[in-house]
């Protein structure tokens, strides 16, 4: 009998504690407005067009000094910030479409506007 009474009291205390936590959570630690709720996101994020993004990738020089002058790119969803400045966009990239069997790569690429022109910011 004592064991079941202690269990019932413990369950009741646990329920009261959880209830108080849910009620007091917004008062103790208010959540900042999420980026999706901000007016900037409602108005849309500045992002490159597919042509501007392709041109930026073709201008990009890799650490080996080689360029991707024949690369093709399909632009997907973009979101602000991320690792670097500007926007990070999901892309489908083909490094050299002239090669037989060149497979498209799905990868995020960062873009930033520099002097009115979109450039690759994060590779």
- The domain ranges of the chain are 2-31, 41-122
* Contact residues for 16 (Cβ-Cβ < 8 A; gap 6+): none
Please write down the HEC assignment for all residues of the chain: CHHHHHHHHHHHHHHHHHHHHHHHHHHHCCCCCCHHHCHHHHHCCCCCCHHHHHHHHHHCECCCCCECCCCEEEEEEEEECCCCCCEEEEEEEECCCCCCCCCCEEEEEEEEEECCEEEEEEC
Q: In the prediction, which pLDDT does 51 show?
A: 92
Whether 94 and 80 have beta carbons less than 8 Å apart is answered as: no
Q: How far is CA 83 from the centre of its chain?
A: 9
Q: Report the alpha-carbon distance of residue 6 to residue 15 in Å, rounded.
A: 14
Q: What is the pLDDT along the chain (123 residues), one digit of tens a residue?
A: 677 888 889 888 888 887 777 777 766 666 554 444 433 344 466 888 999 998 998 888 776 667 788 888 999 888 886 655 688 889 998 887 777 777 888 988 888 888 889 988 766
Q: In the prediction, which pLDDT does 45 show?
A: 67
């Amino acid at each position: 009998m004592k064991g079941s009474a202690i269990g019932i009291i413990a369950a009741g205390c646990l329920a009261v504690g959880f209830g108080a936590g849910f009620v007091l959570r917004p008062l103790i630690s208010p959540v900042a407005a999420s980026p999706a709720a901000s007016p900037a996101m409602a108005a849309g994020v500045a992002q490159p067009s597919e042509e501007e993004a392709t041109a930026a990738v073709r201008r990009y020089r890799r650490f080996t000094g080689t360029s991707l002058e024949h690369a093709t790119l399909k632009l997907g969803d973009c979101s602000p910030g991320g690792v670097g400045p500007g926007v990070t966009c999901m892309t489908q990239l083909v490094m050299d479409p002239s090669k037989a069997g060149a497979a498209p790569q799905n990868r995020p690429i960062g873009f930033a506007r520099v002097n009115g022109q979109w450039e690759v910011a994060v590779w």
